[in-house]
Amino acid sequence: TLPELDKEGYYMTVGDYVEIKAYEVTGAFFGTRSVLQALKASDDGASIAKGVARDYPKYEQRGFMIDVARKFYTLEFLQDYIKLMSWYKLNTFSIHLNDNGFASYFGGDWSKTYDAFRLESDVYPGLTATDGSYTKEEFRDLQYLALDYGVEIIPEIDTPAHSLSFTKFDNKLYNPAYDWDHIDVTNPYAYEFMEKLF
């Protein structure tokens, strides 16, 4: 056994056929990505050089972050991105689910500053953005799809800053000592609100 293979590494032997061996499913799956890449790179699109390979990642976390709050992306786009990430053996997909613009771009007026929270919320109906969002079931299914492709989704809910969606929704979270996109961390109610949301 080779400890460096861990869960994402694999052995590949190419002779009359291709054999992939791995300690875990993710390693075997990433091996199939290498086979497809080799086929794509071959002159005829149908052959792979014979030999033996041992492949494993140098870095444990290899990822990408997308901000769906400031610019909404469809579920189909995110699904395609998971497959693209898997092709390059990236394993961490951070999805930034809430944020807002800068008031300076909206005439200094926080009430006109763009903000969005992209997840369905049963606890706080009305918090979810109306110009694009994901149901809990859709987002859960997206996470399952990602796991099938060797990618872990990290859902990011930003707070105490970047929180204009929350302070607009419930102004008890706002403290005049801060900008509107900051939750008042001195207020115990803010902790109750966020705990329920999480």
Nearest CA to 181 out of 196, 159, 197, 198 is that of 159
Tell me the per-residue pLDDT of 91-139, one tens digit each, with 9 for 90 and over. Answer: 999 999 999 999 999 999 999 999 999 999 999 999 999 999 999 999 9
Structure confidence at residue 1 as a pLDDT band (50, 70, 90): low
Q: Is the pLDDT reported for residue 45 higher than 90? A: no
CA distance 55 to 148: 20
Q: Is the pLDDT reported for residue 177 higher than 70? A: yes
Q: Measured between alpha carbons, how far is residue 188 from residues 76, 173, 192 in Å?
A: 39, 9, 7
For 1, half-sphere exposure in the C-beta direction (CA atoms, 13 angstrom radius) is: 5
Which pTM was predicted? 0.91
The tokens for 78 are 């995110």
Cβ-based neighbour number of residue 140 at 10 Å: 12
Phi (first) and psi of residue 186, to 5 degrees: -85, -5
Q: Is the pLDDT reported for residue 2 higher than 80? A: no
Question: Strand, helix or coil at 93?
Answer: strand
Give me the chain's average pLDDT, please: 96
